Amino acid sequence: MKRIGVLIEQNDGVVRKTSLGVLAAARHFTNGEVFALLMAPDREPCRETLRRHGSDWIVSITTAEEDLASLPEEQAASIAWAVQHCELQVLLGSSGQVGRDLLARVASLKNAPLILDCLHLDLEAGMVRKSHFSSRTTATMKLNGMPWIIGIRPNVFTERSDPRAGKIIELKPEIPFRRRMVIREIRQGGTEGPDVSEAEIIISGGRGLGSAENFRILRDCASKLGAAVGASRAAVDAGYAPHALQVGQTGKTVSPKLYIACGISGSVQHFAGMKTSKVIVGINKDKDAPIFQKCDYGLLGDLFEVVPALTKELDSKTIQDRSSDDPVKNSS
């Protein structure tokens, strides 16, 4: 029976959905004990969330440094120390921006095998499947040595309720603090709305938007859908959107329930970042655009007509729903 560690990411005491997905994967692919590694400061609501989603143990890691997140080297050393202390055989995390950095640092410190962007696990057999060559192929790989450090592609596994005891283990790692690298500030690049890497619905724009101002069309629609706004590399390179919104091989990998590509041709590089979306909708006025060969639903038309019409229809539906819920009107 393996002891599985899950690296938990949080924002202001709220566990990120991608981490809950990793917890679900840990529970699904092993009968062993699952340890949620939680960096301070953690809060009771955060712990309760982890208990509801399959954590047998919650390892609360505290140090003399109050803001360990600003010290990536010390943070990785603390996690590596916890892996050793808890005798973990596997450490799982999300292959997002934070997870990639920390998992790689931990693997280096432990001289352990590291595999990122995993799509499927067989922890009992030590086998994993991951994407290769811009997701054109997948490779099944066998892991040797312990511990295994594995990064799971964000949103491949969705959160699920699996209540467990979630007993608390308080750890204070015995590591030196050299402070060779300190993160002073993280700028989001003026992004608004939900995080594109965690959103269930994404509406993305490409070069066809023509300008940064025209991304307002997508933001208006996203606000009605409860969606995040994404962008292709072409749109980012043209200055239409910040890099934080970029979806694709050189941007973020996403797996929403619905992905709407507006004015995006559908290059291999972009498709690599969103091909695991449950439903893909393509909107383009070029009938030969590659996106129409890859999407579930295609709409041949001008996005400047289609998207505003969709927004108007969604707005109209919202008004109707509010009206039907109005007790005054319903009683008259």
Flag whether the pTM goes above 0.85. Answer: no
pLDDT of 65 strictly over 70 = no
pLDDT (average), residues 300-310: 96
Residue with tokens 């312990």: 146
- H/E stretch holding 223 reads helix 215-225
Instruction: State residue 39's pLDDT score.
Output: 84
For the domain covering 3-171, report its CATH number: 3.40.50.620
For the domain covering 201-324, report its CATH number: 3.40.50.1220
Query: pLDDT, tens digit, for every residue of 229-269?
Result: 999 999 999 999 998 899 998 888 888 999 999 999 999 88
> pLDDT category, 327, cuts 50, 70, 90?
very low
Distance, in Å, from the CA atom of 122 to the CA atom of 128, rounded to the nearest integer, reads: 6
pLDDT (average), residues 184-208: 78
Query: pLDDT, tens digit, for every residue of 30-53?
Result: 888 999 999 866 678 899 999 999
Distance, in Å, from the CA atom of 92 to the CA atom of 282, rounded to the nearest integer, reads: 34
Distance, in Å, from the CA atom of 7 to the CA atom of 100, rounded to the nearest integer, reads: 11
Query: pLDDT, tens digit, for every residue of 74-110?
Result: 889 999 999 999 999 999 999 888 899 999 999 999 9
Strand ranges for 184-296 from DSSP E: 201-205, 228-231, 258-262, 279-284
Break the chain into its structural domains and give their ranges: 3-171, 201-324
Asked which of 31-35, 176-180, 313-317 is least confident by mean pLDDT, the reply is 176-180
